[in-house]
Amino acid sequence: MEKKSGDGPNYIKRGKKHKFNFMLYNSYSQLMIVPEYGRTLNAEEWSPVIDALLEGQHFVLATHENSDGDGLGSEVALALVLRALGKEVAIVNPTEVPPNYQFLKKLYPIAFFDKKSEEAIQELALCDVVVLLDANLRDRMGSLWPHVKFSRELGSLKLLCIDHHLEPDDFTDVMVCENYATSTGELVYGLIYAIQERVGRNLFTSDIAEALYVAVMTDTGSFRFPKTTPYVYQLAGDLVSKGADASEIYDSIYNSLTPSALKLLGAALSAITILDNGEISWLFISQDMIKVTESKLFDTDLIIRYLLSVPSVRIAVLMVEMQDGRTKASFRSRGNIYVNQLAKQYGGGGHMNAAGCLFQFSSDKAQKVLLEDVRLFLKSHKEKGFLQ
């Protein structure tokens, strides 16, 4: 086992947390880094990622299915950096870019991989490095994963992952997973500074600052979530000083609803159910509701925040029926309620207070199973003294 000196961060080997004074490589030569609370990675700790980025020539960057501002902003920023370093870079995602993030495509092209896109398939076939951003589970790569897996089995591809969610899978060559970071964008911000230190030149541009500001702003809930430390405000200020227009970015993302999305929001708000003495808020959006309002799946993304707006609610659940019969579930919680553990029961994941999963069966069955489990989950938290 190869060992390198370090300053004592926590590392993950096969999903278990250990505290060592050196970098830990497992038997697959994979590296997974999770620093202690309140830390940021230094240039030495970023070195396995930087080595791979500088050695590679042809890159594909990707984020998770149903992409959000953090994943999209992070991959656009990193793509711009790699292009400045003379690399060939393509962004290829398993699902389309939501309307309120389309402006990011003006900063860098983003391709949609639908198994029919010859250009996207060719990019995956030719690349020597894939970088997955804002996801640490292989299933979150969706339709991309079989192609990436095949190339890795041929020994022609290196897979990197940069993420900030809990409980990562062990499936990459190098994984940096800093679950105390507010966002993957925060990590990429630090990575760019570390690359600058290595190559001895400035890489930040106004476009990179804009993309990273999108990432950090959206995943901090516009800088209001608990992990938004003074460092994050300093980071945001630095990005604004580098050219990010905070007002314009906010307006582009949050004040760009279509009439159809607004109709869906109205229908959804009237369908919210408050259960169990106000502790659970519950909403199911059917395909019929989506069709009647002529809206799209991504129009449901902003609805979840309304479910937690009632002060008594401990857990909010949004379930959306998908066209293929599966059911997408999103969870939000208050306090010490680890909804990522709830999502994990169904193959999902996320953060302590924000998580999600995808049920592989009908919405009727999903609703029945999940409501019972949510109640048991909340009850167990009470019994363990997590709730006042």
At 217-231, the pLDDT tens digits run 999 999 988 888 899
Residue 164 three-state SS: coil
CB 45 within 8 A of CB 6: yes
Please tell me which residue, 216 or 153, carries the higher pLDDT value: 216
| pLDDT band for position 201 (cuts 50, 70, 90) | very high
Mean pLDDT, all residues of the chain? 86
Q: Which of 106-120, 166-180, 263-277, 309-323 shows the lowest per-residue confidence on average (mean pLDDT)?
A: 106-120
- What's residue 125's pLDDT? 80
Report, as an integer, the average pLDDT of 18-31: 30
Q: Structural domains in the chain?
A: 3-252 (3.90.1640.10), 259-383 (3.10.310.30)
- What's residue 33's pLDDT? 44
Q: CB-side exposure of 30: number of CA atoms within 13 Å?
A: 20
Please tell me which residue, 252 or 23, carries the higher pLDDT value: 252
- What's residue 102's pLDDT? 96
- Contacting residues for 180 by C-beta, under 8 A, at least 6 apart: 35, 37, 38, 39, 164, 227
Q: Is the pLDDT confidence value at 255 over 80?
A: yes
Q: Which of 19-23, 125-129, 335-339 shows the lowest per-residue confidence on average (mean pLDDT)?
A: 19-23
| pLDDT band for position 273 (cuts 50, 70, 90) | very high
- What's residue 14's pLDDT? 27
According to DSSP H, which parts of the chain are helical? 43-55, 69-84, 118-126, 145-153, 184-199, 206-219, 230-241, 246-254, 259-271, 287-292, 304-307, 339-344, 363-383
Quick one: CA torsion of 125, 131, 137, 141, rounded to 10 degrees?
A: -40
**How far is the C-alpha of 384 from the C-alpha of 388, rounded, in Å?**
10
**How far is the C-alpha of 41 from the C-alpha of 360, rounded, in Å?**
38
- What's residue 8's pLDDT? 30
End-to-end Cα spacing for the chain: 46
- What's residue 39's pLDDT? 65
Q: Is the pLDDT confidence value at 59 over 90?
A: yes
Residue with tokens 């010490």: 336
CA distances (Å), origin 162, targets 28, 44, 110, 282, 375: 18, 16, 18, 32, 34
Please tell me which residue, 87 or 152, carries the higher pLDDT value: 87
| pLDDT band for position 118 (cuts 50, 70, 90) | confident
H or E segment and range at residue 245 = none
Q: Is the pLDDT confidence value at 203 over 60?
A: yes
Percentage of residues in the chain having pLDDT higher than 90? 62
Q: Is the pLDDT confidence value at 262 over 50?
A: yes
- What's residue 365's pLDDT? 87
Summarised one tens digit per residue, pLDDT across range 93-104 is 999 999 899 999
CA distances (Å), origin 126, targets 112, 141, 212: 17, 18, 27
Report, as an integer, the average pLDDT of 169-197: 94
DSSP single-letter state for residue 81: H
